[in-house]
Amino acid sequence: AQTVTQSQPEMSVQEAETVTLSCTYDTSENNYYLFWYKQPPSRQMILVIRQEAYKQQNATENRFSVNFQKAAKSFSLKISDSQLGDTAMYFCAFTNTDKLIFGTGTRLQVFP
């Protein structure tokens, strides 16, 4: 069975600094997709970034980028130039069907 592990329950970062959130997963599948979702306080989860496992190039969306290491089954999220609005829960997720398998989340606090 597939599993997703986020080992950092909480992280904090100062505004304008860079922070990296960790995620590891376990699967025997070769084709799959990985996602980072953001859940601001009292708001719904929104997709931040996605990565196809067959692509070697790391996905980038503006200030958000991933470090995808397929052999190590690692999928970390880097947030550059952190902003106060980045304060949220961040969930790493895996899928090879349409069912998302989530990690437990990392609570990120951005300080001024």
Partner 1 sequence: EPEVTQTPSHQVTQMGQEVILRCVPISNHLYFYWYRQILGQKVEFLVSFYNNEISEKSEIFDDQFSVERPDGSNFTLKIRSTKLEDSAMYFCASSEMGSSYNEQFFGPGTRLTVL
Q: Up-side HSE of residue 18: CA atoms within 13 Å toward CB? A: 9
Judged by CB under 8 A, the stretch of 14-22, 67-75, 79-87, 90-98 that binds partner 1 is 90-98
Asked whether position 68 contacts partner 1 by CB under 8 A, the answer is no
* 24-26/3-5 β-pairing: antiparallel
Asked whether position 32 contacts partner 1 by CB under 8 A, the answer is yes
Spell out the residues 6+ positions from residue 1 whose beta carbon is closer than 8 angstroms to its own.
Answer: none
Judged by CB under 8 A, the stretch of 18-26, 62-70, 74-82, 98-106 that binds partner 1 is 98-106
Give the footprint of partner 1 on this chain (CB under 8 A): 4, 32-33, 37, 42-47, 50, 52, 91, 95-105
